């Protein structure tokens, strides 16, 4: 392992001390230092921190964060857990909870399945099987009904073809296939559309949608919206396409709508999209609302909404730091 990006063991021990002070309520807690740990460490460093924490305190750090988040509804612990987890582990757990806990959360399932790369989806599915001894595709098949089930299964199958760059010539042909699927016949050809999605990776799908606009002068999702015959399947398909094609618009809209647990959504979007397209999401959000995501964070975790002063202040500082980059 390349050690150039790692600091001395003493530095990681100090990181663990600050985390332990926060969990235990004992010792001189430095909130600024606590936020620094969560913002300025790489994923490989978090692995070292977890190992060091276990050696120092005999506890699993990720388990401690997860338990604190669930037991005390602690937003900083939740943000810290998501931040320190490997992305495919985090996403597999999010999908598991969306499928198995309480009411089915279709929005979150679509969010993860349709905004991750095809390679990411392969890692998520492997992790899901190893952690839960279950097949993600099978869970989706048995738990979900209607058009969303077919769309999600098609997207999950598409990751089998993650290798290679986008083929623009193929994309043009596929764009014509999509056009025929919605324009010819009295009903939309769902089979042709789902088959195409299931056999193209995320990168290729974006190229197909771009080619569609080049050929026909407007987005494929707009064509669906204009055709009443597309019905509910069309409405559900448009959401999935928006996730794949313009994830920054999808996430900005989620934040504007604030459906469900708005705090959890805000934490999840900022943590999961940090280093990917968080700046783009912030720009789209600001363009639609006239207010930046930083202001949204401060409103959500301060003043009237403040529930846990120390935890709320810490998570606010963490999310703002990630948004600013």
* C-alpha to C-alpha distance for 169 and 11, rounded to whole angstroms: 52
Residue 50: its pLDDT value, please? Answer: 96
The reply to whether 285 sits in an annotated binding site is no
Number of domains in the chain: 4
Residues 186 and 228 occupy one common structural domain: yes
CA–CA distance, 191 with 174 (Å, rounded to integer): 14
Same domain, residue pair 53 and 111: no
Whole-angstrom distance, CA of residue 61 vs CA of residue 77? 11
Tell me whether residue 3 is in a domain. Answer: no
- Whether 30 maps to a domain, the answer reads yes
Q: Report the length, in residues, of the chain.
A: 325
Do 255 and 241 lie in a common domain?
A: no
Task: Record the tokens describing residue 256, joined without a space.
Answer: 């504007």
Range(s) of the domain holding residue 36: 9-87
Q: Is residue 142 part of a domain?
A: yes
Report whether 23 belongs to an annotated binding site: yes
- Give the alpha-carbon dihedral of 214, 220, 225, 229, to 10 degrees: 120
Same domain, 97 and 63: no
Task: State which of 64, 87, 110 marks the end of a domain.
Answer: 87
> Which among 298, 304, 299 has a CA at the least distance from the CA of 318?
298
pLDDT of residue 2: 46
Class of residue 148 by CB neighbours under 10 A (exposed 0-12, middle 13-18, buried 19+): buried
Q: Is 304 assigned a ligand-binding role in the annotation? A: no
Establish whether 102 is an annotated binding residue.
no
Would you say 27 is a known binding-site residue? Answer: yes
Q: What pLDDT score was predicted for residue 22?
A: 86
Final residue of a domain: which of 140, 161, 182? 161
Is residue 2 a part of any domain in this protein?
A: no
Query: For residue 220, is it within any domain?
Result: yes
* Same structural domain, 285 and 219: no
Q: Residue 71's pLDDT is what? A: 83
Continuous H helices in the chain: 9-24, 31-39, 43-57, 61-72, 75-84, 87-100, 106-115, 118-132, 136-143, 147-158, 168-183, 190-198, 202-216, 220-226, 231-245, 247-257, 262-273, 278-289, 293-300, 309-324
pLDDT at 4: 46
> pTM for the complete prediction?
0.90
- pLDDT score at 172: 96
Q: Are residues 104 and 150 in the same domain?
A: yes
Q: Which of 101, 128, 161 is the last residue in one of the domains? A: 161
* pLDDT at residue 23, as a whole number: 84
Nearest to 237 by CA among 252, 225, 229: 225
CA–CA distance, 315 with 79 (Å, rounded to integer):
7
Query: What whole-number distance in Å separates Cα of residue 223 and Cα of residue 193?
Result: 13
For residue 1, tell me if it sits in a domain.
no
What pLDDT does 53 receive? Answer: 96
Euclidean distance between CA atoms 283 and 249, whole angstroms: 10
In a domain, 4, yes or no: no
- Quick count: other Cβ atoms within 10 Å of Cβ 274? 18
Q: Which residue has the tokens 């490997």?
A: 86
Is 25 marked within a binding site?
yes
Ordered DSSP codes for 224-267: HHH-GGGHHHHHHHHHHHHHHH-HHHHHHHHHHH--S-HHHHHH
Residue given tokens 């999702």 in the structure block: 221
Query: CATH number, domain at 116?
Result: 1.10.220.10
Asked whether residue 123 falls in the same domain as residue 148, the answer is: yes
User: Residue 50 falls within a domain, yes or no?
Assistant: yes
pLDDT in tens, the chain (325 residues): 444 445 678 899 999 999 998 888 766 667 788 899 999 999 999 999 999 999 999 999 999 999 988 887 889 999 999 999 999 999 999 999 999 877 788 889 999 999 999 999 999 999 999 999 999 999 999 999 888 999 999 999 988 777 768 899 999 999 999 999 998 888 899 999 999 999 999 999 999 999 999 999 999 999 998 888 888 899 999 999 999 999 999 999 999 987 668 899 999 999 999 999 999 999 999 999 999 999 999 998 875 555 566 678 889 999 999 999 8
């Amino acid at each position: 392992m390349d050690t150039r990006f790692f600091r001395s063991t003493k530095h990681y021990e100090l990181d663990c001390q600050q985390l332990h002070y926060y969990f235990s309520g004992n010792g001189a807690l430095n909130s600024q230092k606590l936020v620094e740990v969560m913002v300025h460490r790489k994923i490989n460093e978090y692995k070292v921190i977890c190992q060091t924490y276990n050696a120092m305190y005999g506890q699993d750090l990720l388990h401690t964060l997860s338990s604190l988040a669930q037991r005390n509804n602690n937003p900083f612990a939740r943000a810290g857990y998501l931040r320190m987890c490997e992305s495919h582990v985090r996403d597999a757990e999010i999908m598991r909870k969306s499928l198995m806990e309480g009411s089915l959360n279709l929005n979150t399932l679509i969010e993860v399945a349709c905004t991750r790369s095809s390679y990411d989806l392969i890692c998520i599915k492997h992790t899901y099987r190893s952690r839960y001894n279950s097949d993600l595709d099978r869970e989706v098949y048995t738990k979900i009904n209607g058009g969303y089930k077919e769309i999600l299964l098609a997207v999950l199958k598409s990751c089998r073809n993650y290798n290679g760059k986008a083929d623009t010539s193929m994309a043009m042909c596929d764009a014509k296939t999509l056009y025929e699927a919605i324009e010819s016949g009295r009903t939309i050809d769902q089979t042709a559309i789902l088959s195409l999605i299931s056999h193209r990776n995320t990168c290729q799908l974006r190229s197909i949608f771009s080619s569609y606009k080049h050929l026909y002068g407007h987005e494929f999702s707009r064509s669906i919206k204009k055709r009443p015959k597309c019905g509910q399947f069309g409405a559900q398909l448009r959401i999935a396409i928006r996730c794949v094609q313009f994830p920054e618009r999808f996430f900005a809209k989620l934040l504007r709508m604030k459906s469900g647990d708005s705090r959890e959504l805000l934490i999840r979007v900022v943590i999961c999209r940090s280093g990917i397209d968080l700046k783009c999401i912030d720009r789209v959000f600001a363009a639609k609302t006239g207010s930046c995501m930083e202001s949204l964070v401060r409103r959500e975790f301060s003043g009237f909404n403040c529930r846990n002063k120390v935890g709320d202040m810490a998570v606010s500082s963490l999310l703002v730091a990630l948004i600013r980059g």
